[in-house]
Structure 1
């Protein structure tokens, strides 16, 4: 399919951004969208190294913290004008992005966990900022519950609040991460769900705009 514009979606970088430079046509993309986990319990210096490496291959970056990034990283992304956590951003005329980072509670006590209902509240907050967009991308570090993108073994461990938001709003695409084992493409209604898995394992997504709609393809290096 020929796109009018396209964006590269990555996540779960965990201090290893080297594969960003290997993504085909990455320099021609309209930007790179990072769904979360730039670091592994890392602070601002670690996040800066990741973002600088990604900016070297494409200068347009949108990013948010995952559960493994500290609150300081969120503040730094905000100060840099890169953050999409709890925000709405216009990617192109008529094309919008809503973001929610962090994750729901985990058994591991990671740095940036929130009650599940708070993830839904942050998406609703972002939605109040949205323009009159014809196409919409939701970027949620924690994937929607009960889908092919939130599974560890036979268990679904994603966010019920994110799932409810996707069911209600029906964006074109929902890019997620968090569950490394659940690299997949799925659907909730008309919404395409994609979890590319870890960047270091070669996973990424291509989110393409053709006419007035967004589509997504799951890719591996």
Structure 2
């Protein structure tokens, strides 16, 4: 099974459409910042445009809100489109996935959950998963990794790192820190920030056998 891994769209439907037209895949996981409440006067209208693009592709898509997505408003629309994985479990062909959105910043953005809240929810969801292969979608990256560097400092979440170290996820998709595109291996878990869609970045994961992730750009 091939997965399109994306994050940080920030309402950029043009790049999203170009990525979708370019690649062949069976499902999509998105780690948030679908629209951008600080960028668009009508957040929901731009969110709808992004979700319309997803609907047109005709494959299973699951997403969490990012810190620029007001939690309640974004999740409501995702639920209506059957795309929500925030605080939920989703079953795919050969794995299950769980997710939690939002991320901490110094700027007081719309959705900034406490780390303990992320950890408690993800641990509860993990314990309910039944599949042997378990994936996670978390907007906030783990601290002290290759995916959380901003202006030379590690700015990720300690609690997200603890989730990865304590549980046996095969893959974690993250985002949030635009300048920390890349992948890391933490406690036998592959952790990927494919980079922001708004800058033309994404990744393709092949789940056949041992997971293989290819970082790509337009």
Give the TM-score of the pair, scaled to structure 1.
0.89
Q: Would the aligned equivalents of 1:172 and 1:215 in 2 still touch at CA under 8 Å?
A: no
Pair 1:8–1:89, CA change in 2 (3 A): same
Residues 157-183 of structure 1: per-residue CA shift (max 9 Å, x gap): 111111100011131111100000111
Distance 2:59 2:14 in 1: 15
Q: Which residue of 2 aligns with 1:52?
A: 52
Runs (4+) of structure 1 exceeding 3 A deviation are: 24-28
Q: Would the aligned equivalents of 1:18 and 1:53 in 2 still touch at CA under 8 Å?
A: no
Distance 2:15 2:214 in 1: 18
Q: Would the aligned equivalents of 1:185 and 1:193 in 2 still touch at CA under 8 Å?
A: yes
Q: Would the aligned equivalents of 1:27 and 1:57 in 2 still touch at CA under 8 Å?
A: no
Give the unaligned 5+ runs of structure 1. none
Q: Which residue of 1 aligns with 2:108?
A: 109
Q: Which residue of 2 aligns with 1:16?
A: 12
Q: Would the aligned equivalents of 1:11 and 1:197 in 2 still touch at CA under 8 Å?
A: yes
Q: Would the aligned equivalents of 1:26 and 1:58 in 2 still touch at CA under 8 Å?
A: no
Give the unaligned 5+ runs of structure 2. none
Pair 1:18–1:54, CA change in 2 (3 A): farther
Q: Would the aligned equivalents of 2:26 and 2:59 in 1 still touch at CA under 8 Å?
A: no
Q: Secondary structure at the match of 1:83?
A: coil
Match of 2:177 among 176, 179, 193: 179
Q: Which residue of 1 aligns with 2:97?
A: 97
Q: Which residue of 1 aligns with 2:87?
A: 86
Deviation at 1:37, TM superposition (A): 0.3
Deviation at 1:25, TM superposition (A): 7.1
What is the number of equivalent residue pairs in this alignment? Answer: 213
Deviation at 1:21, TM superposition (A): 2.9
Q: Secondary structure at the match of 2:211?
A: strand
Match of 1:216 among 203, 213, 217: 213
Pair 1:80–1:145, CA change in 2 (3 A): same
Q: Which residue of 1 aligns with 2:34?
A: 38
Q: Which residue of 2 aligns with 1:127?
A: 126
The Cα RMSD (Å) is 1.8
Q: Which residue of 2 aligns with 1:146?
A: 144
Deviation at 1:26, TM superposition (A): 5.8
Give the TM-score of the pair, scaled to structure 2.
0.90
